Amino acid sequence: MTTIGFIGLGIMGKPMATHLARAGHDLHISNASGAAAELKGLGARGHDSLSDLAAACEVVILMVPDTPEVESVLFGDDGVVAGLAPGTLVIDMSSIDPIATRDFAGRVRAAGGDYVDAPVSGGEVGAKAATLTIMAGGSAEGFARALPLFKVMGGNITHIGDVGAGQTCKVANQIIVALNIAAVGEALIFASKAGADPARVREALLGGFASSKVLEVHGERMIERNFDPGFRMDLHLKDLSLALQGAEALGLSLPQTAFCKQLLASAREAGEGDLDHSAMVRQLERLAGHSLAD
């Protein structure tokens, strides 16, 4: 049993923390969380401050939306680092800036802790099923300490390299997913406009080289018009912004990523940023003048 503090009990963090509690770990959470009562029903212990939470734990896991939130949780007034005990392992499973990640890790290590960045892929479905893909960056020792906890939450777990490598891998993942969503959306719109049943087209394509998890899961969402958020477009927009910032620093051109970022930005402007990222198809439908709902 490990004493774990879990910060960020949202769409994905809540089921991840639930798996840890049900696996028998001693779970500590913030009393300010909207999910606190439910987790306490599984034996979690609440704290009024993040510093108190950190002081009680061997491991602190973060699952929050963006880089500023991670910085605030760790280094804000009465934050995690203020209560960090020597040897505490901080695991950031958020998806944030790789460069900031390396800075955060240095500051945590200077305070006597260790740091692993371990962003995930798989969305709400993967979080609930404990089948998340976990991409980790950190020392071999830090990864070894984190691995038993990762196995409770995920199925495909890879130590990519040193701190920041996990976040770099996640940015690459988000590029692939965004471009795949756009490709599936365009293909289904084309098929529909040409008079074919997009549901039958999707079924056929799942048996060929065009098959993908995005075609399987998000293609169905597009056809059924189910855009309840598993992963919000606003968060994917944040991730592609990180990709393009990194590309600029590296002197790279990522034109397809830039196009997908524009689709997501347009969704935000249309008031749709809280929808699932499969709803990118709605922007493509507007550009095409044809909807799969027609």
Average pLDDT (123-142) is: 96
Q: How do strand 132-137 and strand 120-121 relate by DSSP bridges? A: antiparallel
Pairwise CA distance, residues 275 & 81, whole Å: 34
Confidence of residue 90 (pLDDT cuts 50, 70, 90): very high
| φ, ψ of residue 88 in degrees (nearest 5) | -65, 135
pLDDT tens, 49-73?
A: 999 999 999 999 999 999 999 999 9
Q: Measured at the alpha carbon of residue 54, what is the angle toward residues 49 and 59, in degrees to the nearest 5?
A: 145
pTM recorded for the entire structure? 0.90
Residue 291 scores a pLDDT above 90:
yes
238 catalytic per annotation: no
pLDDT digits (tens, 9 = 90+) for 172-231: 999 999 999 999 999 999 999 999 999 999 999 999 999 999 999 999 999 999 999 988
Bridge pairing between strands 154-161 and 132-137: parallel
User: How do the residues of the chain divide into helix, strand and coil, expressed in percent and rounded to 5?
Assistant: 55, 15, 30
Tell me what percent of the residues of the chain surpass a pLDDT of 70.
100
Q: Which of 170, 193, 238, 261 is catalytic?
A: 170
Per-residue confidence band for 150, with pLDDT thresholds at 50, 70 and 90: very high
Q: What confidence score (pLDDT) does residue 230 get?
A: 86
For helices 280-288 and 165-193, angle between their N-to-C axes, nearest 10 degrees: 40
User: Any idea of the CA torsion for 170, 28, 149, 278, to the nearest 10 degrees?
Assistant: -30
Phi/psi of residue 136, each to 5°?
-110, 145
| Residue 123 in this model has a pLDDT that exceeds 90 | no
Instruction: Give 251: exposed, middle or buried? Use CB within 10 Å, 0-12, 13-18, 19+.
Output: exposed
The H or E element spanning position 167 is helix 165-193
Backbone angles phi, psi at 6, to 5 degrees: -120, 120
Tell me the average pLDDT of the chain: 96
Euclidean distance between CA atoms 119 and 167, whole angstroms: 6
What are the structure tokens assigned to 124, written together?
């709400």
Q: What is the pLDDT of residues 236-270, one digit of tens each?
A: 999 999 999 999 999 999 999 999 999 999 999 99
List of domains in the chain? 3-162 (3.40.50.720), 168-288 (1.10.1040.10)
Q: What is the pLDDT of residue 294?
A: 84
